[in-house]
Amino acid sequence: MSPRIPTRVSTPRPTLANAAVPTSAPANTAVPAGADAPAANVVAPTGGSWKRSATKEVAISDLQQKFGWTDESWQGRLLQAADEGADGSRSANGQVSAAELESYLSAPTDAQFLTSTALQQQRAALDAKLQGGAQSASVDSFDSPWQQSVAKRADLLGGNGDGQLSADELTAYINASKANQAKGTGTAANTQWVPDQQMAVFQSRVAEVAGEVDPLQGVGGSGATPGLNLVKEYSRTLMDTDKNVPTFVSYLLSAADVKETPADVSRLDSTFVRDPELKGGVVDADYNNTGFDRGHMKPAEDSPTQAAMNESHLMSNIAPQHGNHNQQVWRTLERGVSEMVKETGGKAYIVTGNLYLDDKGKPLPPESLQTTGSKDDRRIAVPTHNFKTVLLELPNGNLSMFAYMVPNKAEGPSKKDDILPLLQESRVPVDQIEGLLGQDLYAQLPKGVQEKLEKDTSAAGVFQQQSLYESATLLRN
């Protein structure tokens, strides 16, 4: 059975002015009992869900030495560009902060690097120029210097260099920037796409070295679950090497990444492999004939590139899940979160992991854990529950937070009429999960914002018909 959910804490909820969410439920939706309360949203401080510190700089040379980034790598070039400023406005000091990276990427007038969010903005700018029926727009007619820079590059690199930007030229330019990303062949002379998800981990690395809290890394307290921190290109993992299962995996999912993901990214081209950072780690064959699915923590479908897809198939991203739970219940929740991010146009900081609890919701002692695996010297702990926490930031900066703690049962439901009530019953406040982990998962948020969001389970859940499954979304009814 699920651990008892604490009594709901009521908090003031400012209205969502200009929020990018529908004001009525989509057609053919079923709203489960208890989901009619308004979402627990708060107005974020200026600058989004938190404001990075511009003063917490770290030497670029230290970052390059620590992570093996050369001057010619995209990481080395990005650090240098952020240090100089997109328009040369900064006096380069050989140091950079996560805030400076963010500032550079929000207005990259040199157009060396474009995130998915920047690409979406550029597409919108072109569409606005072509609304009158024009076939092209002057590269000098865009509203901001960075848009003009992108337009000029697209005209030259993806078009005919006539000073006019067309939709076809922009598409060719964007496809070329994505090819540069996939091949790792970007240079200062061209443009490289860096997905929001990849950039979030890059910024997280810089923030960590600078001693700054970050939404992708929890802050452990005295009772924190021990583990090995693994920082990948698209996600972060706290690995429990004793259990051979990740405690949790964190990553960013943005609506812009969902829209910009190339059509040829496919899980069929990826295979499960041992994490090269874990020499004695789990291998794919350890799950053979165990009766358990290889359950993704970061879903394969939340991968904006093939490299991200391959990374999601590392065994350090996998936990044993019962078949029906993985393929039906958990799958429903995964698709629901992805759909929620896409439909709201926002971005979500997601933490997904595993818990081992008794029937009273208390942590199980090591000797009571169920294990599986084909090797006696490499046993894999079977979680009793999988959890997922989501901090959703809307385009206007407003925030919503929700969490699920779902039993990993062999007899899990497979019909939507049974899945939806189970998910609704599995809603818990984020701070309950934090208490079990001994981790402050969203330490970058101001304390007042945390108190309003992390204790509340009332963000409305609307379940919308999606293919074979019902997707859980935060589209308000």
Q: In the numeric block, which tokens belong to residue 214?
A: 């970050």
Does 245 share its domain with 149?
no
Q: In the numeric block, which tokens belong to residue 379?
A: 């046993």
Per-residue pLDDT of 288-307, as tens digits, reads 999 999 999 999 999 999 99
Residue 52: predicted pLDDT: 86
pTM, whole model, 2 decimals? 0.87
Q: Which of 296, 313, 322, 385 is catalytic?
A: 296
Q: Is 296 an active-site residue?
A: yes
Report d(CA 281, CA 287) in Å as an integer.
Answer: 13
Per-residue pLDDT of 213-224, as tens digits, reads 999 998 886 566
Does 440 share its domain with 314?
yes
> Into how many domains does the chain fold?
2
Q: How does DSSP classify residue 460?
A: -
DSSP letters along 270-304, please?
Answer: ---B--TT-TT---GGGGTTSSEEEEESS-GGG-S
CATH of the domain at 375: 3.40.570.10
Does 394 share its domain with 327?
yes
Contacts with 210 (C-beta within 8 Å, 6 or more apart), sequence order: 53, 56, 57, 58, 97, 98
Does 189 share its domain with 279?
no
* Lowest mean per-residue pLDDT among 166-175, 180-189, 191-200, 388-397: 180-189
Does 222 share its domain with 168?
no
Q: Is 103 among the domain residues? A: yes
Contacts with 417 (C-beta within 8 Å, 6 or more apart), sequence order: none
Per-residue pLDDT of 48-85, as tens digits, reads 457 888 889 999 999 999 999 999 999 999 999 999 87
Burial (CB count <10 Å: 0-12, 13-18, 19+), residue 154: buried
Does 69 share its domain with 192?
yes
**Which of 6-10, 306-310, 390-394, 454-458 tops mean pLDDT?**
306-310
CB atoms within 10 A of CB 226: 11
Does 366 share its domain with 445?
yes
Q: What b/e readout covers 245-274, taking b as 16+ CB neighbours within 10 angstroms?
A: bbbbbbbbbbbbbbebbeeebebeebebeb
Taken in order 122, 123, 128, 129, the sign of the CA dihedral is positive
pLDDT band at 225 (very low <50, low <70, confident <90, very high): low
Does 259 share its domain with 382?
yes
Which residues fall in the annotated binding site for Mg(2+)?
A: 326
Contacts with 151 (C-beta within 8 Å, 6 or more apart), sequence order: 122, 126, 137, 139, 142, 165, 170
Taken in order 133, 138, 143, 144, the sign of the CA dihedral is positive
Domain membership of residue 397 as a residue range = 29-49+215-473
**pLDDT at residue 1 greater than cutoff 70:** no
Alpha-carbon separation of residue 379 from 5, 8, 274, 297, 323 (angstroms): 31, 38, 15, 19, 19
Does 185 share its domain with 229?
no
Does 177 share its domain with 321?
no
Q: In the numeric block, which tokens belong to residue 116?
A: 């998915």
Q: Is 6 among the domain residues? A: no
Q: Is 116 among the domain residues? A: yes
Which residues fall in the annotated binding site?
A: 326
Does 312 share its domain with 332?
yes
